[in-house]
Amino acid sequence: MSKAARFGIVSAGIAAGAALIAFYIVSYLTVTPPVVAATGTAPQVNLTLQTVAAFGHPPHVDWVSYLAENAHGKWVHSTVLRVPANSTVNVTIYQFDTATGLRNPFWGRPRGTAGGTINVDGKTLNVLNPDLASHTFAIPDLGVSVPLKGVADDAKNQCSVAPCSLSEAHTTVKFSFQTGKPGKLRWQCFVPCAAGFPLGFGGPMQSLGWMDGYLEVVG
Amino acid sequence: MTEIVSGRIPRHGRRIIGIWLVLTAVAVPLIVLVLGPHLPPGRMTAEAASQRDANVLMTALLVPIALLVVVCFVYSFAVFRQRGEVILDGPPLKGHAGAQLFWIVLTSLIVLALAVWGSYTLIAGSHGAGGGQGPDPVAKPNGYQHALPVQVIGQQWEWTFRYPTYGGLETRDLAIPNHVLVAFHVTSIDVTHSFWAYELGVKADAVPGVDNVAYVHAHKTGFFQIRCAELCGLWHGHMAKKGRVLSSSAFQAWIAAAKTKNAAVMAYLPKYNRVYFPAPLRRAG
């Protein structure tokens, strides 16, 4: 093989490798979950979410996750939520995961919600026994923190693949909170719920679209 | 072509020293009197004040040294610049035992003096300088037995605070009383965080299973910033909030309001402890 041919092959290999690395970095930095907007009209809008113990699909079949319902009633695998500024957001969360308890029982008290309470399966609560919680829905910058009651360990007809249906075992948590000025706020779960990771803190607990997300408050 | 310089040699050393002395005489007072009051972290607490004093002293000591280097460089650049086509060789360099000894003694004295002063300040002067000293502090301030304990609990990704003196009250907000010695007991219930209360001059790692004690004595009321100074995961950059130094009466009122606000959850909180190894670990896989 001539010197020029060898040079060409090596150059092509380096260029291909560089392109793959660039593609990976750009993909990592730019791919975010789709935005799911609240339904209704400001100043009263509705958000509907569900939590599932295992997503059940690639790329992470066994990761715990939130899902959001869009305006067409379809469940979307996303945690990027859009709500209007200076509005009341009525949230309904269908909880399909079982209880693992709160790592810090302090989060058992609902905060930042209308009246400082939540409605769990039709009952109004100002505190949830921390042992009964499965996840939390928290927007720290708004002072919102809501414990989510888990499904009993021995409940029948438990959901195994997202999206879960309301015919499967679940609890229903309802609450409202108030948005302020426009901005992009983070929200998260405060329960170390990442099965298979050291102390439950990896994977879905550290990834947008799973147990962390953004609340886009738009004007 | 090379040529040895002959004739009278200007006293470059004296010129350099003269310029340096003038610049130093101007710069050091400016640093102490003008820049000093703006150096971090302020004077909200005795510990922060000691850190600012250290910053002022170090800057005032380092600037003359930096100026000497800069003056030598600029002077050499301007005066010893080669002009024309002829390559000239400078006068031969000779060692000067006196100058070398003077420089060694001077720099040694500076380093030793800073070490003595720094050690005194750290241990006896500011009692740990606001840094975490672990579960059994070496530098204890006078009256440490009566310090108000405030536990700082790091968790992904939020700080909460417990007040064992007030029934183990836990809050999302941090407030401390003015003119009262406070002992922060910093810990974590998950990964390693670092509690950094900027204007208080406090920075202590929050490590799971460790009670890291840092003392602080506030001198004036107001707000201070709280940050996490240890990369701790996805929302590390959001682990920030503001704390408050309150007057004694305002602090008591704040405690009473916080007790009312958090009454519902008090029954579920674990007994106050210096460290926690909380459940659940079922998810640990």
pLDDT digits (tens, 9 = 90+) for A38-69: 999 989 999 999 999 989 888 888 899 999 99
Smallest Cβ–Cβ distance between A101 and the set B155, B235, B280 belongs to B280
Q: How far is CA B146 from CA B66, B165, B203, B245, B271, in A?
A: 46, 11, 21, 18, 21
Closest CA to A89 of A59, A125, A49, A136: A49
Q: What is the pLDDT of residue A3?
A: 86
Identify which of B285, B183, B191, B277 has the alpha carbon closest to the alpha carbon of residue B232.
B191
| Tokens coding A22 | 């660039």
For residue A142, pLDDT beyond 90? yes
Which chain B residues are Cβ-neighbours of A197 within 8 angstroms? 284-285
- Spell out the long-range contacts of A116-122 with Cβ–Cβ below 8 A and sequence spacing 24 or more: A117/A175, A118/A146, A118/A147, A118/A173, A118/A174, A118/A175, A119/A173, A119/A174, A119/A175, A120/A149, A120/A171, A120/A172, A120/A173, A121/A149, A121/A171, A121/A172, A122/A172
Residues 80-119 on A with a CB inside 8 Å of B are: 100-101, 103-106, 108-109, 111
pLDDT, tens digit (0-9, with 9 covering 90-100), for A103-119: 899 999 999 999 999 99
Q: What does CATH list as the number for A34-218? A: 2.60.40.420
Q: Where are the domains of chain A?
A: 1-31, 34-218
Topology annotation, domain B144-277? Immunoglobulin-like (2.60.40)
Task: Select from B199, B188, B274 the least CA-distant residue to B233.
Answer: B188
Amino acid at B217: H
Specify the pLDDT at position B7. Answer: 52
Angstrom distances, CA of residue B134 to CA of A114, B130, B211: 42, 12, 6
Residue A136 pLDDT class (50, 70, 90 cuts): very high
CB contact under 8 A, A192 and B156: yes
Beta-carbon contacts of B285 under 8 Å, excluding residues fewer than 6 positions away, are: A195, A196, A197, A198, A200
Q: How many beta-carbon pairs under 8 angstroms link A with B? A: 86
pTM of the model: 0.84
pLDDT of residue B279: 59
Beta partners for residue B177, in sequence order: B246
Chain-chain contact of B280 with A199 (C-beta, under 8 angstroms): no
Q: What element of type H or E holds B151? A: strand B148-155
> What is the helix (H) or strand (E) element at residue B21, kind and residue range?
helix B12-30
For chain B, the structural domain boundaries read: 10-89+107-125, 144-277
Tell me, what's the pLDDT at B94? 84
Q: Is the CB of residue A190 less than 8 Å away from at least one CB of chain B?
A: yes
Instruction: Give the mean pLDDT per block of 10 residues along chain B (285 residues).
Output: 53 92 96 92 90 90 93 92 77 86 92 89 79 88 93 95 96 96 94 94 94 94 96 92 96 96 91 81 40
Tally the residues of chain B. 285
Mean of the per-residue pLDDT values of chain A: 92
What pLDDT is stored for residue B66 in this prediction?
95
pLDDT confidence of residue A24: 85
Q: What is the least distance, in Å, from the CA of A72 to any CA of chain B? A: 31
Say which DSSP state B271 is in: P
The HSE-up count of residue A107 (CA atoms within 13 Å, CB side) is: 33
Neighbouring-strand partners of residue A16: none
- What digits encode the pLDDT tens for the residues A162-215? 999 999 999 999 999 999 999 999 999 988 887 777 777 788 888 899 999 999
Give the pairing type, strands B158-163 and A133-139.
unpaired
DSSP one-letter string for chain A: --HHHHHHHHHHHHHHHHHHHHHHHHHHHH--PPEEEPEEETTEEEEEEEEES---STT-TT--EEEEE-TTS-EES--EEEEETT-EEEEEEEE-SBP---SSGGGGS-BSSGGG-EEETTEEES---GGGEEEEEEEGGGTEEEEEEPBPTT-SS---SSSP-TTSS-EEEEEEEE--SSEEEEEE--S---TTSGGG-SGGGGSBTTTEEEEEEE-
Residue A179 contacts residue A217 (beta carbons within 8 Å) = yes
Average pLDDT over residues A137-145: 95
